[in-house]
Amino acid sequence: MTKKISGSHQALKDEYDELLLKMALSNFAAVDGEQLEAENRVLKEDPFFQPSKSVSRDFEKRIKRGIFLCRIFSFFNIVSVLKAALGLSICLISILLSIVSVKAVRVLFLNLLVTRPQPSHSTSDSFLLSKDGGINLPEADGLVDAVQFIVVSF
């Protein structure tokens, strides 16, 4: 007598077979892993498979040199970024200062040239400032005339 296995029974049997196969493979992997770990312990203790002292030293030197070079390159990378930021900020400040100061310097220079200093023999604290807001300079008519000529020619 043969009994027909229904669809749900067949699915359960297939699932059981798959789980049984997975359990067998897992058990085999565990046993094989234990054997490999034992073999690894034996090889670690065997001096034939250990590197010599000189090879170990050379390897440590290479690793230390590589770490040192990585640190140097990362330091220079940080320094180059800081240099770029510093250069950019200096350029920005100089541009802003030139924009702000061009007009102020021009006005002060023209005020200096327009205002003729009067000879003053007083010893007050405002030696360089005149009463009309200009700047008092010692008498140098030739110098003032030359500067006025230069300004007028612009």
What is the pLDDT confidence band of residue 106, given thresholds at 50, 70 and 90? confident
User: Above 60 in pLDDT, residue 113?
Assistant: yes
Q: Tell me: the pLDDT tens digits for 8-49?
A: 889 999 999 999 999 999 999 999 999 999 999 998 888 888
- What is the pLDDT at residue 1? 40
- Reply yes or no on whether the pLDDT at 134 is more than 60: no
Task: Specify the DSSP class assigned to residue 48.
Answer: G
Check residue 4 and report its DSSP letter: P
Q: Is residue 135 helix, strand or coil?
A: strand
pLDDT reading at 145 higher than 70: no
Range ranked top by mean pLDDT from 29-38, 104-113, 127-136, 137-146:
29-38
**Average pLDDT for 59-71:** 92
Mean pLDDT of the chain: 77
Beta strand extents in the chain (DSSP E only): none
Q: 3-state class of 133 per DSSP?
A: coil
Higher-confidence position of 76 and 18: 18
Q: Which residue has the higher pLDDT, 102 or 82?
A: 82
pLDDT in the model for residue 154: 47
- In whole angstroms, what is the distance from residue 44 CA to residue 75 CA? 39
The whole-number pLDDT of residue 128 equals 52
Amino acid at site 102: V
